[in-house]
Amino acid sequence: MAGEGAYEREPVALDERITSDGSSPWPVEPGRYRLIVARACPWANRAVIVRRLLGLEDAISLGIAGPLHDERSWRFHLDPDNRDPVLGIEWLGEAYRKADPNFSGGITVPAMVEISSGKVVTNGFQQLTLDFSTQWKAYHRPGAPDLYPEHLRAEIDEVMAGIYTEVNNGVYRCGFATTQEAYEEAYDRLFTHLDLLSERLAHQRYLVGDTITEADIRLWVTLVRFDAVYHGHFKCNRQKLTEMPVLWEYARDLFQTPGFGDTIDFEQIKQHYYGVHRQINPTGVVPKGPDPRVWLEPHSRARLGGRPFGDGTPPGPVRPGEQVPPIVR
């Protein structure tokens, strides 16, 4: 039970799965679904990364909501006419209400939408990327890495459970706490776990095994946002990421790996957090820094060995229309 003033994440409301074995009413079928994301959102970011690493671009199209929204939901305000060009909707909430006219839960990204009906099938962000790895295998690119290897799943699941409660959600528990006690408890738990992860990564390049797995993706999407928004905006300010040597090198290593840094738009990340969370930042002023060029500084993680993609290969170039602005040195 959360204490007074503690933040509790609302559970997802539409948690159907898209499967290849007939175990759900939603079959894996290329071209049937559209993945709706926002560059700002860490939960959506990991779906973008997994889709790209596995080469699912031809099987699952991508719609990108803008960084700003209000009580009506995420909005496609970066698209022509403020509408998603495939679904034809202005607000993501429209697709939720097509699935359930009385829908009153959280309208979140990522969301998988059936294109023909315009209905959200699932916003189950915890299972979605695992299903990309396990249920969509027939449509993986040649050389796609195994991000959820069967012989390591128990360890990956254990590591991810701690990352989710203490880090991914931990920064939000800091930022949205409404009492000093709740904030300080969340703060202590967050940095205790970051210290444990630093110890784990001091002698191995990746979290589980010697290749990138789902666990790395889930940790990294929080780390990459840490200095830009969580350190100041969410008061996670014991240290910046750049002041945590192991995690900073680890995060930079992944940023410079195809499929990671090429999904990040720091301006949209800042615009969302500082512009939407008016209860934390009433003025809506967006900070100018930090300088993103630090992410291109060399690292020495290769000394630990490891093979980023295992027996696979890096993904190819980012698809037209899905690029983010490059960092200019």
- Count of CB atoms situated within 10 Å of the CB of 177: 23
Q: Are 15 and 175 in contact (CB under 8 A)?
A: no
Pick the catalytic residue from 33, 139, 148, 172: 172
Do 293 and 329 touch, CB atoms closer than 8 A? yes
Q: Which residue has the tokens 């940095």?
A: 191
Q: Tell me which H or E stretch contains 26.
A: strand 26-27
- Residue 194, classed as helix, strand or coil, is helix
Q: What is the DSSP letter of 328?
A: P
DSSP 60: S
CA distance 108 to 308: 30
CA-to-CA separations, 31 to 20, 57, 61, 94, 115, in angstroms, rounded: 14, 10, 7, 20, 8
Does the active-site annotation cover 96? no
3: phi then psi, degrees, rounded to nearest 5: -75, 175
| Catalytic site includes residue 172 | yes
Around 203, how many Cα atoms within 13 Å sit in the side-chain half-sphere? 3
Q: Tell me the C-alpha distance between 131 and 314, whole Å.
A: 20
Which residues contribute to the annotated binding site for glutathione? 74
Closest by Cα among 62, 60, 64, 96 to 77: 64
**Residues labelled as active-site residues:** 41, 172
